[in-house]
Amino acid sequence: MSEKIQNIEFPWGHKRRFNAYPDHFRKLFGARVQKVSIDAGFTCPNRDGTKGRGGCTYCNNDAFNPSYCVPEKTVTRQIAEGIAFHRNRYREAGSYLAYFQAYSNTYAPLAKLKDLYEEALSYPGVIGLIIGTRPDCIDDDKLEYLKELSEKHYVAVEYGIESCYDKTLRRINRGHSFKEAEDAVKRTSGMGINTGAHFIFGLPGESRDEMLAEADIISQLPLTTVKFHQLQIIRGTAMEKEYTSNPSDFHLFTWDEYLGFFIKFLERLSPAIVVERFTGEAPPRFLTEQKWGKKRTDQITGLIEKRLEELDTWQGRLYEDKR
Ligand code: SF4
């Protein structure tokens, strides 16, 4: 058997076996950067009737919003409280990124977006913006403005894409196609703006092979960062009802299954894409079942890195560049 790869630098410039988000930022800024979440009171076209009502079947934004984030507070106050929150828990960060997280954060007239984003950027220590949104909530004027902002600040737009398959997007009531997502990613990245995407594994109607094949599809997109979540059934959602009436339609990953699956997925994912998250962690009170026991994000990252080491493999080992 050949000797294990050890102490080599991977194409992303360090020895960790995947292109890790914190290291990416350390390389960009030379120090730790902390994200601070903001709920600026946006809604979403899939909730207000423009695209649909009721939203995506799995969505309950409260499950992912930190407690200091409420739209009744100004952006400035949320940032101040967010910084204090993180300072109490973790090492002090040198600088901060304002993360417009809740709902669709480009879904408003440009003038309103400018006010909110620029309020965030005027806060001492805030060096950039991360803007979570839907692929159908962006247009050329907004992109042009974000491009200008990105000449002076770090700016990233993160799109919820969730699946590369239209049959799944229809089933979970996303209200957009994969083609629309692909176009939004290409247009954003084409303007020189950092572009992120979010995907969920375990959505109903998708086989494990289909999910694995998404690594090849995602690798062809001009993405800077990606976040992955395992499907969790959140209380009070349409998906909870679907799950309760047809549990056999779902096959939720156990932790062991997910670990095995995710290693295979990472091996096929382009080494150029920075991986921010492997899993999601809705607070237990929102979950209909908690199959994984209590595992913090850092423990999950540790377990994934340990398995990569044991198997002597790494992100992109089986990636084929087809671009
Ligand atoms: S997941 Fe996002 S796009 Fe879907 S309903 Fe919720 S806020 Fe809207």
pLDDT in tens, 142-191: 999 999 999 999 999 999 999 999 999 999 999 999 999 999 999 999 99
User: What is residue 28's three-state secondary structure?
Assistant: helix
Give pLDDT, residue 1. Answer: 42
Cβ of 59 closer than 6 Å to ligand 1, yes or no, is yes
For a ligand 1 pocket test, name from 39, 43, 44 the mutation site with the most ligand atoms within 8 angstroms of its C-beta: 44
Residue whose CA lies nearest to ligand 1 atom number 6: 59
Q: Which candidate, 108, 247, 92, 228, places its Cα nearest to that of 160?
A: 228
User: Average pLDDT of 259-285?
Assistant: 92
**Taking Cα atoms as reference points, which of 93, 95, 120 lies closest to residue 105?**
120
| DSSP at 31 | S
In angstroms, rounded to a whole number, what is the distance separating the alpha carbons of residues 252 and 7?
36
For ligand 1, atom 7, name the residue with the nearest CA. Answer: 103
Strand order in the sheet with 225-230: 33-38, 95-100, 126-133, 154-162, 194-201, 225-230, 274-277
Under 8 Å between Cβ of 228 and 262: yes
| Res. 229 pLDDT band, cuts 50 70 90 | very high
**Ligand 1 within 6 A of 288 CB?**
no
Q: Note the pLDDT tens digit of each residue in 50-90.
A: 988 889 999 986 665 666 678 889 999 999 999 998 887 76
CA 57 to ligand 1 centroid distance, Å:
9
Determine how β-strand 95-100 pairs with β-strand 126-133: parallel
Place 323 in a pLDDT band, splitting at 50, 70 and 90.
Answer: low
